[in-house]
Structure 1
Amino acid sequence: MPETGGVREVKSAGRTVELLEVLAARGDRPARLRELAEELGVPRSSMYALLQTLTDRGWVRTDATGSLYGIGIRALLTGTSYLDTDPRVRAAGPHLDEASTTLGETVHMGRFDRGDVVYLATRESHEYLRTLSRVGRRLPAHVGALGKALLAERDAAELPAGELERFTPNTLCDRAALDADLALVRERGHSVDREEGVTGIVGFGFVLRYDTPAVDAVSCSVPVARLTGDHERRIIATMRRIRTEIEAAAHTPPGAPDWI
């Protein structure tokens, strides 16, 4: 059993968290009892009891037959509380609004988490429609502007290893290619995602250096059809300014916890 800070992990708590993470990762693909028991290596009787407990408390939901399971509404309420109480997300809000309005493009804020990026805030462009809200979405860090900006801040040991997941024909799935791209990120001071995460979309990412290494970043996404040389330069200049403003605003209030 793993240890955390010298304290042995509570097995039942660890299993509960693993189950919720599995259900959350499945998105709109509900799971059956057998699938969950096999994936987590838990006896079906124990998994059934855990599912029933979490269903009763709203963390898991089930269908009318009681045979399919998905993430429950309590997970949404807890996630919303995380965003509402994070001082850096609140501080960034007005600046994300300004960037999206000024540029007419979609702007994101994301946080590095165990090799992935979790989207914490999004300001959608009014010039084109997106079919997927990104708040709460988790993506591997190598596939987008936010993630590549954050990976460039990290030591080689923290970079993804092995075969990297492909999202589009342009995704950097080769470690050597990713390393070369991250070197360019460090040189120019921002990342560029040219249809690597979403076909037809180019992104520009900028880390927020109020932590070392940085854990937060902001980005601007623009359809390829709208991106000209002049617009690209305007995006970079605006996002650099916005980054500076967010860094200045995102301080921890006196007496507030210094979260890690």
Structure 2
Amino acid sequence: MLKLEHIQKSFDGVHILNDLSLEIPNGEIVSILGPSGSGKTTLLNLILGITEIDEGRILFNEQDMTHVPMEQRGFNIVFQDYALFPNLTAFENITYGLKNKPQISSPEEVQELVHLLGLEKHLEKRIDQLSGGQKQRVALARTLVMKPKILLLDEPLSALDGVIKESIKERIKMIAKEYNLTTIIVTHDPEEALTLSDRVLIINEGQISQYGKPEDIMNQPSCDFVQDFILNQLEIKRRNIFALFHPMQEQMV
């Protein structure tokens, strides 16, 4: 279990996270939602170890990770832009981290992961030959072969559309269950969070507004902010989709 206890973080005297505490059970998918500047990415970076906390503790399976360096935590992240090496093939990207730590995953385990993510036909392709969805799957595979204790995803579906997005969502859920892998996702899309996650964390101004199952978020919002934020974001998404298919009508609305 991942535990955050009374986390505080400020930058230049401005409070970003203020006395934030929560528990994430092993194997669950948790999405972090909130307005721009609410502290979502800061929270992800604190868990990963990129940023040090000012006060509080981070524990994983009762081990204090608060001051453990990022490279020793065993938590891995897939960034929004994938951060793949353009001069390497898909397979070379996937196995890049194993060059220095080949004992982490056997060739058979790598092939199993490649099969799970449906990448068999794309292994010899250059990165510029891959679609957005294929790049996302390669980035996931590259992270997963290192067998992270926690998988962190920063806006993993933001560059994807339609069927591809739904396919990646299903693969993320499949992977979390297959490997009992705690997965934490930062997203701006409430529909994505509500349909992908076991629990949703909504933060505003550095504090938890609500943390619960998707059905509780929708049916029992804890406050007016949660209700308004979810409804407003869903309405914005609806209008964007409508404008895409009916541009002239949207201009008249």
> Above 0.5 in TM-score?
no
**Higher RCO (CA < 8 A, seq sep 6+):** 2
